[in-house]
A and B are shown apart, each in its own frame.
Chain A
Amino acid sequence: MKGYIRLILVAGLLSFSATGQAKEMIQIKGSDTLINLVQKLSEVYMQKNPGKYLSVTGGGSGTGIAALINRKCDIADASRQIKGSEVEQAVAAGINPKRVIVAVDGLSIIVNANNSVKQLTFDQVGKIYRGEIFNWKELGGDDEPVTLYGRQPNSGTYDFMKEVVMKGDYSPRMMQMNGNAQIIEGVRSDKGSIGYVGVGYVKNATGIAVINIARSAGSPYLSPLNTDDVVSGRYPISRPLNQYLAKVTPDIVDFIRFELSPEGQKIVQDEGFFTLPPEYVESNQAVLGK
């Protein structure tokens, strides 16, 4: 019995090392907001191109960029832009990360479906997450304490909210959830909850309501589900979803071109995100060439 197991192990190791040499695997790692989308894109791409192999894993934007710098992956998914300090580290490690934008996200503020509050201003969202508003009645809702759901510090969305929306620190009472899906799960079962997730995650979710957001008190309340408002940037918390490339090789460029092709962008829409406006298409062309 033991000898048999050993035989299988050895055979497994041999075949693993043999295939490991034959295949060029593109490693993609990073944002939890992007993971479903990029997984779908790579599945379709691998079906169309037999012999090409991609592996897509999550972990958060910060984790992906750290892996890029440590040469553990070829493409880092990021729902935020790379930080100055990260660029410095990359350059020190001999890498010059190139940015490609693959989709547009309307960061969605969600509450429990039974919450009577349906709209908030940009400013109010910041106040809620900084811990300056404690009860929904302060916002015209029911007398119900606010429970904050957010992401963990390795998340690009966590940073994006902090830098762009709140311009301050999160309330220490915020629950730090391990991914978009867990935020949805938490918000669904909690009456006083508020959470933030990529718009791709609200499409098929039940038990939650998407809040309409106004830039300031006088401006119109807009929904992240409306394509025009998000892509034009009228929706106040829309953002590009990025991929950072460690190097521009033909294999990687081929996959990126597929992502940006009409077929790839159709998948982007099917997954609930939005296709690129002209200025992003141009900045991508500058990286990839025509």
Chain B
Amino acid sequence: MIKRMKEKIIHGLFFLNGLLVIAALLGIFLLLIVTALPAFKEIRLSEFLFTAVWDPTSYARPSYGILAMLAGTLLVTCGALLIAVPIGIGTAAYLAEVASPRVREIAKPVVEVLAGIPSVVIGFLGIVLVGPFVARIFHTSNGLNALNGSVLLAIMALPTIISLSEDALNAVPVSFCEASLALGASRWQTVILVKIPAALSGIIASCMLGMGRAIGETMTVLMATGCAQAMPHSFIDPVRTLTATIAIELGEVAYGSTHYYALFAVGLALFIITFMVNLASDVILHKYQNVVK
């Protein structure tokens, strides 16, 4: 009887925990909507979404367009993924298939430590190391641009991608490998044609999580991408991301002003983007899982 009660209580406790996470998510979403909505009393939605100039403290007339910042965020994030995904999957495949157990035991924790480096430190690295390097390669006068940010965010997304991809590769049943090798495939063919496709759902999910980290990162891009407000035209243009704008301006904005609400609207836009990325990764995860089963 007491045992049953205990079971029930623990069951309820876990249920409450799960509920708490959902409540927090809904709460944040509602808070964002409620604080963002007043912004649109004075800003037209079309101006907010489709114009490129963001200058709420303008000398002449304040303007609130997020297009350039949106482009900046997407540019930096896509660049980061282009760099991090091949390197990340390659490293994961090496750790899972090629590396001796000893190497793996040392290398994996080292990769995971990379995730613990504070973003300010990575941003500083971007200013003194990656920036000058990028400038020399592309013959630009400085290295504060989207590419610099992409390289740094790639470094920050790598631990997530490597660690989760390796787990996914290790989770592929041994029988798959054995069957492939028995049919005469080489180890390279087995990894590329059998193991990676079989682990694809986990790998894609790891990339999406890495992307989520890259979109939300603030300090690093604030320091390393130049933060110019003009619309970027290439990877070697300076960009200002959505996160950097919120971080720079929220500290000093007058409470209750249009500018204040507009910053929450920027936050809402960011929230919607990350939500869609996560949703997409979830859908992909389920779809491929069903295929493997």
Binds B, one of A47-55, A185-193, A196-204: A185-193
The answer on a CB contact under 8 Å between B59 and A182 is: no
A86, A145, A169: the one within 8 Å of B254 (CB): A86
CB of A82 closer than 8 Å to a CB of B? no
- Convert B238-264 into 0s and 1s, putting 1 for each residue whose CB lies closer than 8 angstroms to a CB of A: 101000000011011111000000000
The answer on a CB contact under 8 Å between B227 and A190 is: no
Taking A152-B227, A186-B127, A190-B142 as known contacts, 16 extra A-B pairs with beta carbons closer than 8 A to each other, sorted by chain A number, are A60-B252, A63-B251, A65-B252, A66-B254, A153-B56, A153-B252, A167-B59, A169-B55, A172-B229, A175-B144, A175-B228, A175-B238, A176-B248, A178-B222, A186-B142, A193-B141
Nearest B residue to A171, CB-CB: B230
CB of A154 closer than 8 Å to a CB of B? yes
Q: How far is the CA of A185 from the CA of B123 in the complex (A)?
A: 13
Distance to closest chain A CB from B233 (angstroms): 11
Ordered by A's residue number, 8 sampled pairs between the chains whose C-beta atoms are within 8 Å are A62-B252, A66-B251, A163-B59, A172-B68, A174-B228, A190-B141, A190-B142, A193-B142
Q: B179: which A residues are within 8 A, CB to CB?
A: none
Nearest B residue to A179, CB-CB: B223
Q: How far is the CA of A114 from the CA of B215 in the complex (A)?
A: 38
Q: What is A's interface to B at a CB cutoff of 8 Å?
A: 59-60, 62-63, 65-66, 85-86, 89, 144-145, 147, 152-154, 159, 162-163, 166-169, 171-178, 182, 185-186, 189-193
Nearest A residue to B227, CB-CB: A176
Q: How far is the CA of A153 from the CA of B252 in the complex (A)?
A: 9
Distance to closest chain A CB from B264 (angstroms): 16
Q: B183: which A residues are within 8 A, CB to CB?
A: none
B141, B240, B251: the one within 8 Å of A176 (CB): B240
Q: A65: which B residues are within 8 A, CB to CB?
A: 252
Distance to closest chain B CB from A286 (angstroms): 28
The answer on a CB contact under 8 Å between A186 and B144 is: yes
The answer on a CB contact under 8 Å between A189 and B135 is: yes
The answer on a CB contact under 8 Å between A59 and B251 is: yes
The answer on a CB contact under 8 Å between A176 and B226 is: yes
Q: How far is the CA of A140 from the CA of B254 in the complex (A)?
A: 43
The answer on a CB contact under 8 Å between B58 and A169 is: yes
The answer on a CB contact under 8 Å between B141 and A185 is: no
Nearest B residue to A65, CB-CB: B252
Q: How far is the CA of A145 from the CA of B141 in the complex (A)?
A: 9
CB of B31 closer than 8 Å to a CB of A? no
Q: A162: which B residues are within 8 A, CB to CB?
A: 59
CB of B53 closer than 8 Å to a CB of A? yes
The answer on a CB contact under 8 Å between B251 and A154 is: yes
- Convert B126-138 into 0s and 1s, putting 1 for each residue whose CB lies closer than 8 angstroms to a CB of A: 0110011001000
B144, B223, B228, B248: the one within 8 Å of A154 (CB): B248
A60, A89, A167, A182: the one within 8 Å of B127 (CB): A182
The answer on a CB contact under 8 Å between B228 and A173 is: yes
Distance to closest chain A CB from B225 (angstroms): 9
Distance to closest chain A CB from B247 (angstroms): 9
The answer on a CB contact under 8 Å between B251 and A62 is: yes
- Convert B192-236 into 0s and 1s, putting 1 for each residue whose CB lies closer than 8 angstroms to a CB of A: 000000000000000000000000000000110011111100000
Distance to closest chain A CB from B69 (angstroms): 11
Nearest A residue to B60, CB-CB: A169
The answer on a CB contact under 8 Å between A153 and B223 is: no
Q: How far is the CA of A30 from the CA of B161 in the complex (A)?
A: 39
Q: How far is the CA of A65 from the CA of B68 in the complex (A)?
A: 29
Distance to closest chain A CB from B32 (angstroms): 21
Q: A153: which B residues are within 8 A, CB to CB?
A: 56-57, 248-249, 252
Q: B53: which A residues are within 8 A, CB to CB?
A: 172
The answer on a CB contact under 8 Å between B230 and A172 is: yes
Q: A145: which B residues are within 8 A, CB to CB?
A: 141
Q: B252: which A residues are within 8 A, CB to CB?
A: 60, 62-63, 65-66, 153-154
The residue among B127, B132, B141 with the most chain A CB atoms within 10 A of its own CB is B141
Distance to closest chain A CB from B108 (angstroms): 23
Q: A163: which B residues are within 8 A, CB to CB?
A: 59
Q: How far is the CA of A147 from the CA of B143 in the complex (A)?
A: 12
Nearest A residue to B123, CB-CB: A178
Q: A86: which B residues are within 8 A, CB to CB?
A: 254
- Knowing A174-B228, A189-B132, say if A147 contacts B254 (CB, 8 Å): no
The answer on a CB contact under 8 Å between A175 and B255 is: no
